[in-house]
Amino acid sequence: MTDLASLIGSIDIYLFDQLLRGRVPAGSAVFDAGCGPGRNLVFFLREGYDVRAVDPDAGAIRGVQALARSLSPRLPDSNFRAEPVEANSFPNSSADFVISSAVLHFARDASHFRAMLDGTWRLVRKGGVLFCRLASTIGMEGRFTPLRNGRFHLPDGSERFLVDEPTLMALTGELSGELLDPLKTTVVQDRRCMTTWVMKRAL
């Protein structure tokens, strides 16, 4: 019997919740925009999903290619590319379910954030879903030190590009998205806030 850790890897718990609620049916085309070492892809690769991913770190992509060869050898290496999210070479409407997990808050400024978001959103097919986890100010308003261009110094010592609730709601409308869940934010013991933003693309 396969143990749970082997089956799902180190998947983000909020992404796992989407799986449990049937948001990623078997056989869906799944795209990880900023995949890192592939921690969110183990289940999808093992279960035969049509998986693609990008990350600017070539070493991370080599690791994901090796992971895919071991778990889903039918997928070509070209499904996994060392490219920035905002300038990836995959065609529009490539996926039914697009993952952006802890990626957008690394934007350098507001224009870079928007470029990254647009480069991610264009991959979502009509009727498809974007699952996004990103740092925000929600729940700890006024607790971060503003730096420049939308970036803040966090109590945990890091610097991040942070969004707030009005920004995410405005972007949802601007992109003609539909929230599938209310915005949900986890406050990590007065250190940072991580918001889950899940929206469906209009048909």
Provide mean pLDDT across the span 169-183.
Answer: 97
pLDDT surpassing 60 at residue 149: yes
Q: For residue 2, name the pLDDT band (cuts at 50, 70, 90).
A: low
Q: How many domains does the chain divide into?
A: 1
Q: Which residue segment(s) compose the domain that 44 sits in?
A: 4-201
CATH number at residue 76: 3.40.50.150
Residue 1, pLDDT > 50, answer no
More confident: 78 or 9: 78
pTM here? 0.94
Tens of pLDDT along 101-116? Answer: 999 999 999 999 999 9
Residues 132 and 198 sit within 8 Å (Cβ to Cβ): yes
Residue 78 has phi, psi (to 5 degrees) of -65, -10
Q: How far apart are the first and last CA of the chain?
A: 40
Contacting residues for 32 by C-beta, under 8 A, at least 6 apart? 38, 40, 41, 51, 52, 53, 54, 98, 99, 101
Region 177-187: mean pLDDT is 97
Read off the pLDDT of residues 62-77 as tens digits, 9 standing for 90 and up.
999 999 999 999 999 9
Q: Which of 106, 127, 140, 93 is nearest to 23 (CA)?
A: 127
113 within 8 A of 121, measured Cβ to Cβ: no
How does pLDDT run across 91-103, given as a tens digit for each residue?
999 999 999 999 9
